[in-house]
Amino acid sequence: MTALSPELPLWDTPVTHRFGVAMAMRANPYAGELLRAIDLTAAQSGCVITLADTGDSVSEEAAVIRALRADRVDGVLLVPSAGDEAVINGLVRMGVPTVLVDRISERTDVDQVGSENIQSVCTLVRHLAERRHRNIGLISGEPGLTTSEERVLGYRLGLGRAGLRWKSELVACGLSTPGGAAAAAGRLLDGWPSPTALVVTSEAMLIGVQYEAHRRGIRIGTELAVVGYGDMDWARRVEPAVTTMAQPITEIGRKAVQLLLSRIADPDRRPEAVRLAPRFRHRASCGC
C-alpha cells in the first residue's frame, strides 16, 4: 500500500479540519496544479491535508482510503479510478464527507466537481469543421469513465451540428495513456477514410499523438490538424502549439475544498455536481 504523505505545511492558522486527498499523482499531468490549489484553499480555511497516491488503481485506492479513515481525517477529496464504485459506495454508506474531483460520475448521492465535457468537445469539432475538415477522427479515453463517455458524446454532438456523419472507423480508444493514444492514432492514420484532423480527449493522450505523428513524419498543423482537451505547459511550447480546451484545474481544486467544508457544516444538504467550463485556447496545431 502507498504510504500516506506527511500533512502538508500550514501557515500560522489554527487547524480546524484535516482532509485526505486521494489521487493518482503520476497518471494525471495536472496533479501538481490541482494539489496546489487544494492545499492553498484548505490552508486559507485553517485546514491541513494528507496526500495518498492511489496509483489510479481501484485496489490501491481502497487501501489508501482505509488508511485515511484510520487516520481519522474529517473528509476526503477523491479523484476516483476507472471502475471505482465500491470505494465510493463505502464512503457514502459510512457518511464520510466526500467530494469526487475531476472525474465526475452519474451519481447523485455525493458532492462532485469537474470540467464540463460535452459542449467543450463539441466546440473543438465544430472549429475543425469550420476549417472544412470532413474526416475528423476521435481518440477517446479509458472506457468506464463518465468523462470519457461525455467527451465522446461531445464529439458526436459536434459532428451533428456541423452536418457531418458519425463514422465508427474514425474513432479509436487511446486508453487515456500516451502509448494507447499513439497506437490509436496509428490505427486511424492507417485506416480508410484517413482523418485529416484529430480530436484528442486528454492531456496524456496528446503526448502519444504528437509522438506518432513525429514518428511518421507527419507535420501537425499542415498535414494533420490536432486539437485536444487539457492544456499542459508543453502544449503551449511545442511547434506548432496545440489548440486545446484548457481545464480550469485551479478553480476545480478550490471548489472541491469549498464543497467539502459545506458538507461538513451541513451534512444533510443536497449533494451538488458542479461543472466548470474549460477555456478555448486557439493556437496553430489546428492549421489556422
Superfamily of domain 118-246: Response regulator (3.40.50.2300)
pLDDT at 188: 98
Classify the C-alpha dihedral 244-275-254-205 as positive or negative: negative
Separation CA 83–CA 99 (nearest Å): 17
CATH 3.40.50.2300 fits 17-115+248-278, yes or no: yes
Place of cell 480555511: 45
Q: Where in the chain is the domain with CATH 3.40.50.2300?
A: 17-115+248-278, 118-246
Per-residue pLDDT of the chain (288 residues; tens, 9 = 90+): 444 554 544 445 566 899 999 999 876 778 899 999 999 999 999 999 999 999 989 999 999 999 999 999 999 999 998 878 899 999 999 999 999 999 888 899 999 999 999 999 999 999 999 999 999 999 999 998 889 999 999 999 999 999 999 999 999 999 999 999 999 999 999 999 999 999 999 999 999 999 999 999 999 999 999 999 998 888 888 999 999 999 999 999 999 999 999 999 999 999 999 999 999 999 999 998
pLDDT at 2: 47
Answer yes or no: are the C-beta atoms of 91 and 69 closer than 8 Å.
Answer: no
